[in-house]
Structure 1
Amino acid sequence: MKKQLLLIIVFLVTLSGFSQNTYVFLGSYNRDKSAEAIQIYQLDTLNGKLTKITGAKDIINPSYLTVSPNGKYIYACTDTKTPNAGSVSSFEFNADQKSLTFLNKQSSGGENPVYVSVHKNGKWLVNGNYTEGSVSVHPVLENGKIDSIAQNFKYSEGSIHPERQKSSHVHSTIFSPQFDYLFLPDLGADKIHCYQFNETKKQPLTEAAIPFTKTDLQAGPRHFTFHPNQKYGYCIEEMSGTISVYEYGNGTLKKIQRIKTHKDKYEGFSESSDIHISPDGKFLYASNRGKENNIAVFSIDADGLLKNIGYQSTFGKHPRVFAIDESGKFLIASNVNTGNVIVFRRNQKTGLLKKTGKEIKMQDVSCVQIKQILKIKLL
């Protein structure tokens, strides 16, 4: 029976045509319900050109997006920066029909949701709420809709900054490489919270053996990423403009380096915001917003340590989120205050960036995600 099934699969594959299309998903701070607050483009992976595919209206402030592992569903933090509100919303993306359809939304479990992530099995959604300093876990149904909250944890502890750290501000929800732990950088508390994540349980989060890692005071940990080799983790610290490098293993973080993201001769305040590693694990990129408005480029040594090798202007103001495509050829940055999205080509040998000349405009654009979606068609 297995042999027959294998022969059928081989036959179908032989009669099929394959295409690997790359799509770019943009979110924004947009209170105008008549405007497309979410937009989707197709990326030409030869020249970096972006071609509009579809969009969605009637949404308030979909400030951060994530894409399901199969590319069928888009999840957004919605009603952000809205008093006494906060939600997460689900949309179905049909690449063939070039459509984006609203499915449903649920309470985010706190005010001002700023980050949302999906488990690799596509069955769990986690969002972080900045203003109230909390994290919520939602089951995801078979049809892509978000179910009501299964767990919600709130924090109250702050740190030493008199204005920005009066209380907790969870800024991202990051799964470990094996998706068995969840890390929560907390800008307000100068901590990275940690939970074990058991995907088989109705309430998957339990406190880890080491429930948090303290960062430097007034660092303001914001976003976090893991190296492809799964041995190292990198946390960008918004308030101090630094990156802390950690050795990683079984839910534990051990700091081995702290390095600044801004230029040596830089004078004036600049916040760090987003952080990503190239697919080959050789280079790390970090965005600075405020005075500098650039992407800092670092090489990554075999021991996980960083070395700064350059800076690239984002040709706009306030680069909040950027993304690297799965082939590693392109980096795309979103500039909130100037409402422009810039496509850069990555030199995969040197790690440096060069503007392709391809640019689009979108009011208050705040987030960019990139996803390759495989299509199989019978010939």
Structure 2
Amino acid sequence: MYPQENGKKVKLYTGSYNAPVVTGDGSVYLGKGEGICLWEFDESAGEVRLEKSWPEVLNASWLTLSSDGKMLYAVNELDDYEGTMGGALSAYHIDARGCLEADSILPVMGAAPCHVSCDGSGGHVFTANYNGGSMSCFRLAADGGLAEMDLQLVHSFGEKENADGRGDLRHPVRQEKPHVHSAAVKDGFVWIADLGTDEISCYELEADGKPGKCAASVFLEAGSGPRSFAFSREGNMLYVTCELKNRIAVYRWEKEKRRLSFVQTVSSLPEEARDAESSIGGIVLSEDGRFIYVGNRGTDTIGVFAVDNDGFLSPVQWISSEGKNPRGFTLSPSGGWLLAANQDSDNLVVFERDPDTGMLAKKRVYEAGAVVCLLFTK
């Protein structure tokens, strides 16, 4: 297996659900989470130890770090923060021990924000607001705190989409309106996945750090439900999970030409399970770009796929997530471990990872309430 760095211990943050929120099917969910938790992870043994929790942080369903690692930003996936009919974005200073000190919180002006990313320059942070069908852009203060929301993109169904019959092919419950699920920054562009409209698009970041005009967009097959992104290190390959069809869609990105070209779609499920009630969630690409990992929520498996030199995917393994609803997962800094959080069974599972084959083997299971996001420090 992977040669571990003896005795190396790193910090890990997890975000969880601990307040009511309206889910994709319209039901209200209340998780057993503890807000944001700080863990110590031992790279040599694959063990985690809880150090501290901040249970006052509500529904921290996605976390990201500033480029210098001194700030942590968390979306608060709420439907009505302080009467705004939407959720919020929180900013925290990180001290030398990894502990969080609250700095600022602002409404995102969109319901159920579920993803957040930084622009890399320390100037802006972006949230994807699922039930709001929007992306919010926040200008940062000099100390990394939140200064103001200075732009918002609100999606709607276009006339052409309705005219060409796409609307008739959408999922009647999950795609009743736009649902922006991701807003991910890569190489000077912010990429948006809209589960409701089946569109992925990107906007070039201008000199002031705000998104400018749309640089490229593409509609996936109607009823796909694009959710989460992974990018190759070079930035020329884009992998997106299609939640409603249990597929991974692969695109080639020609940055200079501002052009997206379709490459491939593959099922996230083995052939014998393709009629099962399940939905693909998150996606992670290994640091060397050779393997992709996805979570299948329903069949409750982690799917492992090899990436060839042209970016094409082929299945390697499906392994039990050892729980229910494997929503959040990440690779450790060494790449020797994959940590997966099962939201509905309230556990955190450590898998050992073979760097040559990409395959996983279960090592340890820990209690962790309604965790949906995992983030290692830089």
- For this structure pair, what is the TM-score category when the shorter chain's length is used for normalisation? 0.7 to 0.9
The residue aligned with 2:119 is: 119
**SS of residue in 2 equivalent to 1:333:** strand
The TM-score, its normalising length taken from structure 1, stands at 0.87
Which residue of 260, 267, 272 corresponds with 1:260? 267
Size of the aligned set, in residue pairs, is 346
The residue aligned with 1:88 is: 89
The residue aligned with 2:173 is: 163
Task: Verify: 1:232 aligned to 2:237, yes or no.
Answer: yes
Counterparts of 1:54-203 in structure 2, within 5 Å, are 54-82=52-80, 84-96=85-97, 98-157=98-157, 159=167, 160-176=170-186, 178=187, 180-198=188-206, 200-201=207-208
The CA deviation string for residues 305-344 of structure 1, in whole angstroms up to 9 with x for no partner, is 0000111111110111211123211111111101111111
CA distance in 1, matches of 2:358, 2:8: 24
The residue aligned with 1:27 is: 15
**SS of residue in 2 equivalent to 1:228:** coil
Task: Verify: 1:213 aligned to 2:227, yes or no.
Answer: no
The residue aligned with 1:296 is: 303
State the 1:33 CA deviation: 12
State the 1:21 CA deviation: 5.0
The residue aligned with 1:8 is: none
Is the 2:17–2:33 Cα contact (8 Å) retained in structure 1? Answer: no
State the 1:34 CA deviation: 11
Percent of residue pairs identical: 29
The TM-score, its normalising length taken from structure 2, stands at 0.87
The residue aligned with 2:22 is: none
The residue aligned with 1:11 is: none
Pick the structure with greater CA Rg.
1
CA distance in 1, matches of 2:119, 2:130: 21
The residue aligned with 1:314 is: 321
The residue aligned with 1:367 is: 373
**SS of residue in 2 equivalent to 1:64:** strand
C-alpha spacing 1:33/1:105, structure 2 compared with 1 (3 Å): farther
The residue aligned with 1:326 is: 333
C-alpha spacing 1:138/1:303, structure 2 compared with 1 (3 Å): same
RMSD across aligned C-alpha pairs, in angstroms? 2.0
The residue aligned with 1:375 is: none
Is the 1:222–1:237 Cα contact (8 Å) retained in structure 2? Answer: yes
The residue aligned with 1:273 is: 281
- Structure 2, unpaired ranges of 5+: 1-6, 20-29, 162-166
The CA deviation string for residues 140-169 of structure 1, in whole angstroms up to 9 with x for no partner, is 223221121010010121842222111110
CA distance in 2, matches of 1:304, 1:244: 11
Comparing 301-310 with 362-371, greater Cα deviation is found at: 362-371
